[in-house]
A and B are shown apart, each in its own frame.
Chain A
Amino acid sequence: MSILNERIQALLQNSGAAKVLATADKQGIPHIVSDPTISVNNEGKIIYLELIETSQSNVNLVNSIWFKRKVAIHLSKGEESYQIKGYPAYSVISGPVFEHYYKLSLERNPEFDLSTVWIIEPDEITDDTYAARKKKEREGHPLITHLDRLAK
């Protein structure tokens, strides 16, 4: 069962939400791409469609699936903001799943030549709004704040 709740799955299906994929190369140098087409499949796994075979993201994803390294997805719309970390689980380059997304890419833009369907298994989710992050800090680190905030 997926760890993504209904709200997050709906946001992942919303093309108006901001979605960013962060990967790292072999030296740990980060690389991010913004892609509103990142979505979720009916097993609750995240789908990232890579259009460029030799892109930095694709090479980083290949190394992530080989050496079990996490990638991160930032997801936000309006007041809502989440960070999802997970493992690339499948690099689909052929067969019915690939062909389904290949046709979908073509519908989005006839120029798109899909390289790889990445299926990412989510492993941890963080509520990334300021309010949630601040609340967590207040609870865990009550000594860290400016005194003027506490003045009468």
Chain B
Amino acid sequence: MDKYKDVSPFVIIKSDVTRRSFTYTDRALGALDKSKHQYQQRVLIGSNGGENAAVPVSLLLRDGTSIISTPSKTAKNPYVVDQIDGKLYLTDQGEIVEEVHYWYKPDYYDKFTSSGTPMWQVASARPQRLDIDPNSHCHFWNKGNGCKFCNINANSTQSEKECNMSKQLTAQDVYETVKEALKQPGAFTNLKMSSGSILSGAEIFDDEVDMYIEMLQAAGDNFKEKKFPSTIVASAFSEKQLARLYENTGLMTYTSDIEIPNEALFAWICKGKHKEVGYAEWKRRIIRAVDIFGAGNVSSGIVGGCEMAQPHGFTSEDDALKAVLEEAEDFASQGVSIVHCVWVPMHGSAFHNQQNPSLEYYVRLAKGLSDLRKKYLLNVDMDNYRKCGNHPDTDLDRGNYL
């Protein structure tokens, strides 16, 4: 931290906790109040938790920064969350690092839709965002070409088996859950939808676009005005598909993840995306989305650090960072924010045995991406610390509003 005095220490802590993972002491788990805190959550990538596991879904720091991470049994050097004098702290080798809080449970979580689906299985809640993932199955996996860092299908198959959690949502369940969620004043500032890729249709992704239109319309029926603060994290749609989506729904912003901003590594790590669409076309489509949604209203996520996966990734952190920031600048100069998450080699992903880069790499990456937005006057309100909370770089933007 001494070396990066101008970078928020909360962002540095968040990056390192995500990178190294953490565990809970029994005392800390005892502080979880199932009536107040979230211990179950539907997520696309990561883990939905076991059937009876009462583990907090995530952590919040004093400044409102989210740490989106779950404990890993195989982490070699994890932080430890402990309860000391009635407060929860992150500790490292027995030393207190920072105070943390468990995420609160929204009022709708324990309710059921008219079809009997638990509402927490329809929409999950980040501290200020409603997350609806209508399809937890990615077609790229069907052909054995899922992205190598991703565990979507392994996670959704396990949740279906163990918790009877459906992979697909219905529009009626979405409508009813959003209706209930909006009854809680001040709880949400954004609605996000995401899904595994759906390759079918007359044109590739046509069925995915239809699914989003149906689900966004169902959610949108709860709002007074047609447009409402919302985003999707979806496949790279053609101009025709994007226009259809924009005109027929309340959608205001759009994300499609380039994942690895380097053509050769994308071809290796995101084989399915590369085979069906290709890096250059995936990128072109994201940039063209700016024509519809406007500069700053389109972002693209990268799995920060995955460019160092072996055997084909960069072996030098300097080289990796240079390549990533150069490509990110090309996006930013055309109105697209590149936002990163911290790569966690997860169970159920092809990269589960890999090692992620150093903390310093993540600090430089976050600062580099945030600085690019400053340079190109892009605000990332669509994906900021409170909307998403998964991007150390957008957390930094809040100390820098224009």
Contact = CB atoms under 8 A, between A and B. Distances in A.
Interface of A: 54, 58-59, 62-63, 65-67, 89-96, 98-99, 102-103, 106, 114, 116
Contacts of A63: 399
A94 B64 CA distance: 8
What is the interface of chain A mostly: helix, strand, loop, or mixed? helix
Interface stretch (B150-158, B184-192, B333-341): B184-192
A89 B98 CA distance: 12
13 contacts: A54-B401, A58-B401, A66-B9, A66-B63, A94-B60, A94-B64, A94-B128, A94-B187, A94-B386, A95-B101, A98-B186, A99-B186, A114-B186
Interface in B169-225: 184-187
B351 to A, nearest CB: 32
B161 interface: no
Contact of A91 (B62, B104, B185, B400): B62
Given A54-B401, A59-B400, A95 B185 contact: no
B127 interface: yes
Given A59-B399, A62-B399, A63-B399, 4 more contacts: A66-B63, A91-B64, A93-B127, A93-B386
Interface string B365-390: 00000000000000000000010000
A102 B127 contact: no
Contact of A96 (B63, B104, B127): B104
B109 to A, nearest CB: 13
Contacts of B398: 59, 62
B254 interface: no
A102 B62 CA distance: 18
A92 B63 CA distance: 7
Contacts of B185: 99, 102-103, 106
A89 B36 CA distance: 23
A62 B127 CA distance: 18
B8 interface: yes
Contacts of A103: 185-186
Contacts of A99: 184-187
B64 A116 contact: yes
Nearest to B126: A94
A91 B63 contact: yes
A22 B6 CA distance: 22
Which of A67, A90, A94, A102 gathers the greatest number of chain B CB atoms within 10 Å?
A94
B10 interface: yes
A94 B127 contact: yes
Contact of B104 (A65, A66, A95, A106): A95
Ranked 7 nearest A-B pairs via Cβ: A102-B186, A94-B127, A93-B64, A95-B104, A54-B401, A66-B8, A91-B64
Contacts of B128: 93-94
Given A66-B8, A93-B128, A103-B185, A59 B401 contact: yes
A43 to B, nearest CB: 12
A54 B399 CA distance: 9
Contact of B64 (A67, A92, A96, A114): A92
B150 to A, nearest CB: 28
A89 B87 CA distance: 14
A90 B5 CA distance: 20
